[in-house]
Amino acid sequence: MNPFIQLGIRHDIVNAITELGFENPTPIQEQSIPVLLTGSNDFVGLAQTGTGKTAAFGLPLLELLDFEENHPQALILCPTRELCLQITNDLKNYAKNMRSVHVVAVYGGASISDQLREIRRGVQIVVATPGRMLDIINRKAIDFSQVKFVVLDEADEMLNMGFQEDIDSILSTTPEEKKTWLFSATMPSEVRRIAKKYMTDPYELTMGTKNTGNENIEHEYYIIRARDKYAAFKRIVDFNPEIFGIVFCRTKIETQEIAEALIKDGYNADSLHGDLSQQQRDKVMKRYRERSLQLLIATDVAARGIDVNDVTHVINYSLPDEIENYTHRSGRTARAGKTGVSISIINGKELGKIRQIERTLGKRFVKMDIPTGFDVVEKQLFALVHKVHNVEVNEQQIEQYTSRIMDEFKDMSKEDIIKRFASLEFNRFLDYYKNAPDLNAPVDESRRDSSGERSFRTSGPSEFTRLFINLGSVDGFSRGDLLGYICNTSKISGRTVGKIDVKGVFSFFEVPNDEVGKVQEGFKGADFQGRDVRIEISGEGSSERREGGSGQRREGGNYSGGRREGGYSGGAGGRREGGYSRPEGGNRERTGSNAGGGFRDFSGKRREDRNTGGERRKRF
């Protein structure tokens, strides 16, 4: 039997939600639907966005209301227009096989007369933002005397936005005996207070532990110098060619500036903030939903209620002033069972805030290193290679050109042609990143907060030295191969070798400081298939504690390639040209549409960090 039927939902509705792809109830639906269907409880649900909240209250409402009667029976209050429209739309979808269900969306920034007309025609469910709702109540244009259920959705955010008084006034027009269902992603004391004020002995349901974010979200942070923020941010984006992300800034100005800079630099980005007209906001959201935008730069308030599935990353370009907002922000990713990453780009002074959020969420954040220019180039190259590999060929259309194309390439080997296609865009990246500096700021671990909790590796002199070797995956080395090769050549024990990082034409490996001499000695005069093998101290120390500026040398100097012979392990042979030829420079163009990853124009200039601050209440 369909699990929703088992929960007590009627066939008409189950058929409709099956079409929407709801096969099994989400945990919050499973637990709240049976309780709400009794219609006899007040209810508090502590749940993140994206967990299926709308159906959790929406399906019971459709079961409980009497649609033969044409007057308001349920009122759903929510903080933003987007959420209001989305809830309305969802309810209409669930009810599409039911007769005489009338749902109206009431929100600011749109014609009030249209909304009044809809209300006059008769509605049972009103979904509203508080400001406009109050306006309509004050015009005596609606009668809530027969309301049976009030839903306060995203209650914490409504309070954050200062709707407390409006909510009080609206609720005073509804009957005493109605039931109130409150949903909130977080439970600050303000929400506790309104729960107490409006409800009697509510049934409480907490999904996950209190304030814990979605389990499917990984939290990462990068420590940079304030002046490198924009460059570091771009590098993170470039390192994730398939990113489909929301970038949070604290102020409208910052939002706009970052979006403009990104657009100038050839990214598919746009901003969403309160200064935009409703029409402009709709347009931006439409483009984002359709994925013609890859990055949406938003303020906290503007991004509330955005329900876009498949958001891969949330980036905190600036940390929010309130911890609760971090939960809201990160909840924009990992929706409907997917996974996602929430990234914070911080300076050393903000480490204490990260610790505070960690404690509130009960989750450990992982410190990441800003990828080197080389890392980005390599990642983008393979993203391009995969794209070429997987592209759908329109056989019919291309056929007419095939012989001319073949003719152009007739004197080239398959390898040459592949390299040329890859280089076409790859060169631009290489060009942009060839002298890219290390953007990781030195970490002062003493800047922890007062709890003294030390959950990450402490600094101090490393026992390991990181060595560079001019052999890599292009020579057929895997990590294991390289370990074997290093041990054989330098006669050190495999157990003493630390982290091995195999790159394309070179690699890094760590050995204990007191083994460095032995390794250097062992590799003296070594050659690999006729080529000199070079070992150098990379100058970075342990990868965990990179110090500023050290990354430059390896990025600038090591693309030299040269002629390489067949691989190390397989020895598949064949003459290989140096994998990554030096860029020819110039030839930059802007790519128009980059959704789903691609190469861009990298004229990127550095921008200053603009922490112009907001004016919100509870600060860290």
Parallel, antiparallel, or unpaired for β 217-223 and 366-368? parallel
- For residue 121, give the amino acid letter: R
CB of 336 to ligand AMP, least distance (A): 4
Q: Cβ atoms within 10 A of the Cβ of 619, count?
A: 11
Give least dist CB 352 to ligand AMP, A. Answer: 32
Please report, for the chain, how many H helices and E strands are present, in that order.
22, 20
Contacts of 345 (CB under 8 A, 6+ apart): 221, 222, 224, 229, 232, 233, 236, 315, 316, 317
The values of phi and psi at residue 602, to 5°, are -120, 65
Q: Nearer Cβ to ligand AMP, position 94 or 509?
A: 94
3-state secondary structure 411-422: CCCHHHHHHHHH
In terms of CB distance, is 58 or 551 closer to ligand AMP?
58
Least CB distance to ligand AMP at residue 84 (A): 13
> Closest distance between ligand AMP and the C-beta of residue 174, in Å?
24
CB closer to ligand AMP out of 13 and 436? 13
Residue 169 vs 216, nearer CB to ligand AMP: 216
Residue closer to ligand AMP (CB basis): 69 or 215: 215
Q: What single DSSP character describes residue 223?
A: E
How far is it, in rounded angstroms, from Cα 440 to Cα 32?
Answer: 46
* C-beta closer to ligand AMP: residue 26 or 344: 26
Q: Which residues 6+ apart lie within 8 Å of 168 measured at CB? A: none
CA 397 to the chain's CA centroid:
37
Least distance CB 228 / ligand AMP (angstroms): 36
260's tokens: 């403009």
Quote the least distance from Cβ 279 to ligand AMP, whole Å: 24
For ligand AMP, the closer of residues 56 and 516 by Cβ is: 56
- Nearest CA to 341 out of 376, 368, 320, 301 is that of 368
Instruction: Identify the three-state secondary structure at position 564.
Output: strand
Phi-psi region of 162 (alpha: psi -120 to 50; beta: other; left: phi over 0): left
Quote the CA–CA distance of 372 and 554 in Å, as a whole number: 10
Euclidean distance between CA atoms 291 and 311, whole angstroms? 10
Q: Tell me, what DSSP letter sits at residue 231?
A: H
Residues in touch with ligand AMP (CB under 6 A): 20-22, 24-26, 29, 49-55, 307, 309, 335-336
For residue 238, what is the DSSP state?
A: H
**Concatenated DSSP letters of 150-169:** EEETTHHHHHHTT-HHHHHH
Cα(301)–Cα(255) distance, integer angstroms: 12
Residue 476: both structure tokens together? 């057929």
For residue 1, the minimal CB distance to ligand AMP (Å) is: 16
Least distance (Å) between residue 26 CB and ligand AMP: 5
Contact 117, 106 (CB under 8 A): no
Nearer to ligand AMP (CB atom), residue 22 or residue 509: 22
List, in sequence order, every residue forming a beta bridge with 464; answer none if it has no partner: 512
Least distance to ligand AMP from the beta carbon of 332, Å? 11
Choice between 49 and 594, CB closer to ligand AMP = 49
335/610 with CB nearer ligand AMP:
335
Tokens representing 233 are 């941010």
Nearest approach in angstroms of CB 167 to ligand AMP is 21
| Residue 235: C-alpha distances to residues 71, 241, 465, 519 (Å) | 55, 10, 26, 33
Per the CB < 8 A criterion, the answer to whether 302 and 281 are in contact is yes
Dist. CA 113–CA 193, nearest whole Å = 35
Residue 51 or 372 with smaller CB distance to ligand AMP:
51
Rounded least distance, CB 231 to ligand AMP, Å = 35
The minimum distance between CB 306 and ligand AMP, in angstroms, equals 10
Measured from the CB atom, is 307 or 322 closer to ligand AMP? 307
